[in-house]
Chains A and B, each alone.
Chain A
Amino acid sequence: MGSRLRVLFFSSLLAALAVACAAPPGISPSATLPSPSLAATPSTPPETSYPVTLTDDAGRSVTLDGEPRRIISLAPSNTEIACALDACGELAGVPDYKVGYPNDVLAAIKDLPVVVSFGPVDREAIVAARPDLILAAGNELTPSTDITALADLGYPVLVLYPESLDEVSADIELVGAALNAQAEAAQVTSDMADRVAAVETAVAGMDQPRTFYEVSIFEGTIYTAGEDSFLASLIETAGGAPITGDAKTTAISLEDLVTADPQLILLGDAAYDSTITAKSVGKRQGWSGMAAVKDDRVLPLPEDILITRPGPRIVDGLEALARAIHPEAFE
């Protein structure tokens, strides 16, 4: 028993750290997968002809025999994508996490069976829901063992893991192709592109403040946007110069943060923890010397869900970021 307890003891400390930064399913602000390739998105014919073979973000080749009528979503972002494509009514199973949805989506999904809470999926519930399409999340947010098992049981599983705004649009188009909703997908992505362009125009030419986005802070370890991550690219698009952490662990040491001297601190974790405020940050040991603290530019960001959920409302998140970084551009 001693040896097991020791392994668990050593690792539970680290696990606690990881759990803290893995809280809501959404964007994991680290870039470790090779970028996905989107192959068979037909550009002109608005109708999908079945059977159709698509390549998902994990490089897997997935064949759909007919238009899906019962869709299982294993991540909130996937739920929102389906609903954006008018397929809310075809959802047959959703994750447990019911926070941060627009009201119409919430109404549509509130009585649906829960098939995953966090970690391994409920395979029986998925089978019982008789799906003909499963939208999974990449980067082990849906465990790869579950993806393999579900695929082995014969279900088409599309793994979605976008790591940039373009890839979110590509994923929406991928799902549109899968659902024979390409016209809707084109509409959604074109709206998104327009709004992104508007943000880029609004912040063009402005000074890019050194921006630190606090994803979470736990037992002294600070988690932020990883180097080259989706979150970092969002901050850049919104007109900021992101201070980034380690590409894999997304952690940044306090010393490195102090050296980087952020001019603006955005508190993503304040959306979930009301004890995190500009004042509480100012009181943290070693933080008071930062430019952002001295100039009182520490902002809680309640839109963190939008910023970290890689679905159709990511642009809402982008806009929230831009407003926080360059309030003067959006008066």
Chain B
Amino acid sequence: MRTAVAAGEARPLRMGGSVTRSLVVLGGGAVLLMALVIAAVGVGSADVSVGDTAAILAHRLLGLPLPQTWPATAETIIFDIRLPRVLTAMLVGGGLAMAGTVFQALLRNPLADPYVIGTAAGASFGAALGIAAPLVLPALAIGAGSSLLGLGVVQLLAFGGGLGTVLVVYAVARSAGRVQVITLLLTGYAVSSVLAAMVALLMFMSGRALGAIFGWLMGSLANASWPALAFATPLLLASFVLLLARWRRINLLLLGDAQAASLGTDVEREKLVLTLLATLATSAAVAVSGTIGFVGLVVPHLLRLLIGPDHRLLLPASLLAGAGLLVLADLGARLVPGGGIPVGVVTALIGAPFFLWLLRRSRLARVELSA
């Protein structure tokens, strides 16, 4: 970036070049993701040949009038079971990673995840209520089996619980019209603890539904469906677009509230908008897949170490990486024989050691720098 400056003249910096390079990298990432998605649709616990997979996708997605050479079961497997599941994995993974990126910036804490201010606890509480309440009080079994907007009672309660809890936390943390980051974190912690205890109580009272609640807490894509996808997709896509556009303001927040304000940011409003958008994405994700962990923490953290904290690149990169990671993790989860395991188990198994490695590496790096 060193520019030879003629006396009194200013030559423009070559910053445009980095934008082009970023676009190339992101474009390549998107192509890779698409390839991964297609590959993931082609693999599963049942065998469907590559040719059949391609033909079915071409026929159903592109509308090509191909003669039906594939068995009907293959079409059911590809189109009704695998495709919605892989697409859900993509959107949920991207949403969680992006929300995690936003929260890490907003809370100025690289260990934040999308659940930290209460989304997980609230959504878990809603889901546990939906699962256990009709068993404890059969009168509450109204609506069991019915669905609204493509979601069942449990999922709607999870969505509402996640979103509602964050709104409550935000309102409680606000004083004199301002929300301080530390207050937000602590309030989120306190409210989450209360809700976690209530979830534990519901689990204890739930009897046979205990497994269902616990499975929900681990996070699983096993119940992905086209209707659920139809619910989650507009919410997730909208939050993706709106958050991507706010990259500059997110960068400014990293300078601190005072400086961001003097650079023209309406800091309180920005915090609220970012919280809402990220929580919307997280709640939509959690509603369809339970509380999958580590994606929203490790992906942004890792990418920040690799490509830096500039959100112009970090946000879309997190989106793509989170999507790809969850598609891969779910593939692993699906392939465990006998019905598979919850994808949350896989992300925890990969995520935890990976995270420890990251911590160690960045701690060492910091030690070197300060030497």
Contact = CB atoms under 8 A, between A and B. Distances in A.
A173 B192 CA distance: 50
B20 interface: no
Interface in B177-193: 188-189, 192-193
Nearest to A6: B196
A119 interface: yes
A1 B296 CA distance: 9
B113 A11 contact: no
B256 interface: no
B339 A2 contact: no
Contacts of B210: 14-15, 18, 22
A140 B337 CA distance: 20
A248 interface: yes
Contacts of A140: 208-209, 211-212
A115 to B, nearest CB: 7
B197 A10 contact: yes
Contact of A3 (B120, B152, B204): B120
B209 A11 contact: no
Interface in A1-55: 1-4, 6-8, 10-15, 18-19, 22, 28, 30, 32
A116 B203 CA distance: 24
Q: What is the size category of the interface that chain A forms with chain B?
A: 35 or more
Contacts of B223: 145, 149
Contacts of A120: 215, 220, 222, 339-340
A295 interface: no
Contacts of A118: 338-339
A69 interface: no
A13 B203 CA distance: 10
Interface in A135-184: 139-141, 143-145, 148-149, 153
Nearest to B351: A1
Contact of A149 (B195, B218, B225, B293): B225
A115 B297 CA distance: 34
B199 A10 contact: yes
A124 B45 contact: yes
B49 interface: no
Nearest to A28: B208
Contacts of B118: 3
Contacts of B113: 1, 4
A122 interface: yes
B9 interface: no
A148 B73 contact: no
B211 A124 contact: no
A151 to B, nearest CB: 10
Given A117-B339, A127-B81, A149-B223, A10 B205 contact: no
B77 A4 contact: no
Interface string A109-133: 0000011111111111101101000
B249 interface: no
A122 to B, nearest CB: 4
B337 A3 contact: no
Nearest to A9: B196
Contacts of A30: 207-208
A12 B220 CA distance: 17
B140 to A, nearest CB: 14
Contacts of B339: 115-122
B199 A7 contact: yes
Interface in B214-260: 214-215, 217-218, 220, 222-223, 225
B217 A148 contact: no
A96 interface: yes
B115 to A, nearest CB: 5
Contacts of A116: 338-339
B368 interface: no
Contacts of A2: 116, 189, 192
A127 B46 contact: yes
B126 to A, nearest CB: 12
A127 B77 contact: yes
A110 B184 CA distance: 57
Given A7-B196, A125-B46, A249-B207, A114 B116 contact: no
- Residue picked from A120, A123, A143, A144, most chain B C-beta under 10 Å: A123
A291 B120 CA distance: 50
A114 B338 contact: yes
B264 to A, nearest CB: 33
B291 interface: yes
Contacts of A96: 337-338
Given A122-B339, A128-B46, A14 B220 contact: no
Given A15-B214, A124-B45, A7 B124 contact: yes
Given A1-B293, A122-B339, A125-B45, A6 B211 contact: no
A277 B82 CA distance: 48
Interface string B315-352: 00000000000000000001001111000000000000
A3 B192 contact: yes
A123 B81 contact: yes
Contact of A248 (B195, B205, B293): B205
Contacts of B145: 144, 148
A123 B188 CA distance: 38
A116 B336 CA distance: 11
A139 to B, nearest CB: 5
Interface of B: 44-47, 73, 76-77, 80-82, 111, 113, 115-116, 118, 120-121, 124, 135, 145, 152, 188-189, 192-193, 195-197, 199-200, 203-205, 207-215, 217-218, 220, 222-223, 225, 291, 293-294, 297, 334, 337-340
Given A4-B115, A124-B45, 12 more contacts: A3-B118, A3-B120, A18-B203, A32-B135, A32-B207, A114-B338, A119-B211, A124-B46, A124-B82, A127-B46, A141-B208, A153-B80
Q: Name the 5 nearest CB pairs between A and B, nearest first.
A: A117-B338, A3-B192, A128-B46, A10-B200, A124-B46
21 contacts: A3-B118, A3-B120, A4-B291, A7-B192, A8-B218, A11-B196, A14-B210, A18-B203, A19-B211, A22-B210, A32-B207, A115-B339, A116-B338, A117-B339, A118-B338, A121-B339, A124-B77, A127-B81, A140-B208, A140-B211, A248-B135
